[in-house]
């Protein structure tokens, strides 16, 4: 199987690309806050992951960043490389910056509050921040959607990137040079020691530790080595609040920073939410709430759609970790308010 890709989108506008600062931990010297986690782990005796890159090439980083953010890159002769996908770029589904106060936080309400406080998209894919520090990708219920395709990608980041590129983005596999560039860029997005939230006494344990295995375990306990994914069934009709419950403020944010991330005019999908000609307005959305088909917010968030020849811009599934039933009720409450329902 050829390795696979897929990145998604953010838009953490203003999120600066982080440079690797391989800071060695010398005798009686604690690791600096900017020390990359992978470098710290290796200094403690941990084995590098097979996608580990020691010497980062800035030119490859720049090419990889373009591929992630724009879908292709500027070549040496000034021309643009072919698009990885005609329909999506990585940041349509993935942020590139932090999505929670700490990399161990994965509570959807914590993530939503962080997104609201920092005005970043609330997306179905996991952030690329720290993706190279993980050991698992396409975890949990992803096998229900992609079947055996996830097996070579589950513990191999190169294959995970290629799977995403080909299947998730309705595109093609990356060429070797593209994959290498993307990996260089993703390496610059790895976690740093300062993000782990280690207390002073814990930092002291990392300075010439007597028990290096314990020190390695301490570091790894402060971030998720895999992002769980739990696919739920749509709420049964009798359990739907139909806009009578839910936080309208949260729902407004989800609508504007999740739904409209793709469904805005000139967005990645042909289904546009708005009041213009041919667009789906709030009244239309509200009318489908009691139904179990693609028009219903309750249904589509849980079932998504699959790429088809005529509609390759499919709707991804929102896992429970990315959008809870309660947050769907928040969204419904806001849509119902826009539609003028009590």
Distance between CA atoms of 273 and 234, rounded to whole angstroms?
Answer: 22
Contact assessment for residue 320 and residue 230, using Cβ atoms and an 8 Å cutoff: yes
Residue 15's pLDDT band (cuts 50, 70, 90): very low
Residue 235's pLDDT band (cuts 50, 70, 90): very high
Percent of the chain with pLDDT over 90: 82
Mean pLDDT throughout 94-115? 97
Closest CA to 287 of 279, 297, 274: 297
Rg of the chain's alpha carbons, rounded to an integer? 21
Q: To the nearest whole number, what is the mean pLDDT of the chain? A: 91
Residue 9's pLDDT band (cuts 50, 70, 90): very low
Taking residue 274's Cβ as centre, other Cβ atoms within 10 Å add up to: 14
Query: What dihedral angle (degrees, nearest 10) is formed by the CA atoms of 260, 263, 264, 269?
Result: 150
Q: Give 206-218 pLDDT, tens digit per residue.
A: 988 899 999 999 9
Distance between CA atoms of 284 and 273, rounded to whole angstroms?
Answer: 10
Q: Which domains does the chain have, with CATH numbers?
A: 37-220 (no CATH), 237-338 (1.10.760.10)
Residue 20's pLDDT band (cuts 50, 70, 90): low
Is the pLDDT at 340 greater than 90, yes or no?
yes
Euclidean distance between the first and final Cα of the chain, in Å?
54
Distance between CA atoms of 305 and 32, rounded to whole angstroms?
Answer: 45
- Helix then strand then coil, % of the chain, to nearest 5: 40, 0, 60
Is 277 or 26 the better-scoring residue by pLDDT?
A: 277
Structure tokens at 210: 């007597």
Residue 309's pLDDT band (cuts 50, 70, 90): confident
Residue 318: the pLDDT is 97
Contact assessment for residue 25 and residue 35, using Cβ atoms and an 8 Å cutoff: yes
Distance between CA atoms of 331 and 254, rounded to whole angstroms?
Answer: 6
Taking residue 226's Cβ as centre, other Cβ atoms within 10 Å add up to: 15
Contact assessment for residue 230 and residue 319, using Cβ atoms and an 8 Å cutoff: yes
Mean pLDDT throughout 171-197? 98
What does 7-34 look like in DSSP terms, one character per residue? ------TT-PPPPP------TT-PPPTT
Is the pLDDT at 203 greater than 50, yes or no?
yes
Distance between CA atoms of 163 and 150, rounded to whole angstroms?
Answer: 8
Q: Give 241-287 pLDDT, tens digit per residue.
A: 999 999 999 999 999 999 999 999 988 888 899 999 999 999 999 99
Q: Alpha carbon 101 to chain centroid distance?
A: 15
Mean pLDDT throughout 19-34? 61
Residue 116: the pLDDT is 98
Residue 29: the pLDDT is 67
Closest CA to 137 of 151, 159, 155: 155
Residue 36 φ then ψ, to 5°: -60, 140
Contact assessment for residue 274 and residue 267, using Cβ atoms and an 8 Å cutoff: no
Q: Give 27-71 pLDDT, tens digit per residue.
A: 556 789 999 999 999 999 999 999 999 999 999 999 999 999 999
CA distances in angstroms from 339 to 259, 282, 297, 332, listed in the order given = 16, 5, 14, 10
Q: Give the residue ranges of DSSP H helices in 97-225.
A: 108-118, 142-146, 157-163, 176-187, 200-205, 212-220
What does 55-96 look like in DSSP terms, one character per residue? S--HHHHHHHHHHHHHSS-B-TTSPBPPPS-SS--GGGT--S
Is the pLDDT at 330 greater than 80, yes or no?
yes
Q: Alpha carbon 11 to chain centroid distance?
A: 11
Q: DSSP 3-state assignment of 326?
A: helix
């Amino acid at each position: 199987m050829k390795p696979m890709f897929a990145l998604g989108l953010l838009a953490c506008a203003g999120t600066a690309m982080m440079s690797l600062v391989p800071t060695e931990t010398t005798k009686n010297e604690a690791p600096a806050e900017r020390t990359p986690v992978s470098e710290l782990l290796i200094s403690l005796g941990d084995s590098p992951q097979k996608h580990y890159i020691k010497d980062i090439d800035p030119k490859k980083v720049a090419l990889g960043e373009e591929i992630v953010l724009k879908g292709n890159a500027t070549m040496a002769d000034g021309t643009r490389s072919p698009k990885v996908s005609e329909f999506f770029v990585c940041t349509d589904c993935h942020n590139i910056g932090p999505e929670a106060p700490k990399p161990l936080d994965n509570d959807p309400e914590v993530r939503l509050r962080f997104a609201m406080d920092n005005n970043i998209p609330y997306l179905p894919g996991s952030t690329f921040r720290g993706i190279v520090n993980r050991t698992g990708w396409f975890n949990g219920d992803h096998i229900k959607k992609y079947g055996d395709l996830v097996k070579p990608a589950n513990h191999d980041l190169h294959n995970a990137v290629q799977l995403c590129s080909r299947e998730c983005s309705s595109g093609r596999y990356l060429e070797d040079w593209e994959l290498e560039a993307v990996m260089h860029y993703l390496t610059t997005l790895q976690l740093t020691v300062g993000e782990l939230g280690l207390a002073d006494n814990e930092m002291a344990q990392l300075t010439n530790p007597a028990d290096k295995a314990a020190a390695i375990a301490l570091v790894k306990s402060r971030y998720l080595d895999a992002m769980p994914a739990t696919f739920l069934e749509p709420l049964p009709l009798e359990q739907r609040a139909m806009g009578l419950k839910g936080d309208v403020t949260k729902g407004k944010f989800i609508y504007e920073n999740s739904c409209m991330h793709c469904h805005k005019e000139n967005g990645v999908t042909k289904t546009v939410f708005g009041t213009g000609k041919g667009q789906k307005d709030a009244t239309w959305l509200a009318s489908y709430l009691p139904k179990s088909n693609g028009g219903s917010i309750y249904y589509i968030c849980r079932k998504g759609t699959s790429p088809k020849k005529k509609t390759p811009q499919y709707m991804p599934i929102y896992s429970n970790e990315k959008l809870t039933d309660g947050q769907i009720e928040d969204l419904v409450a806001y849509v119902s308010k826009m539609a003028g329902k009590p």
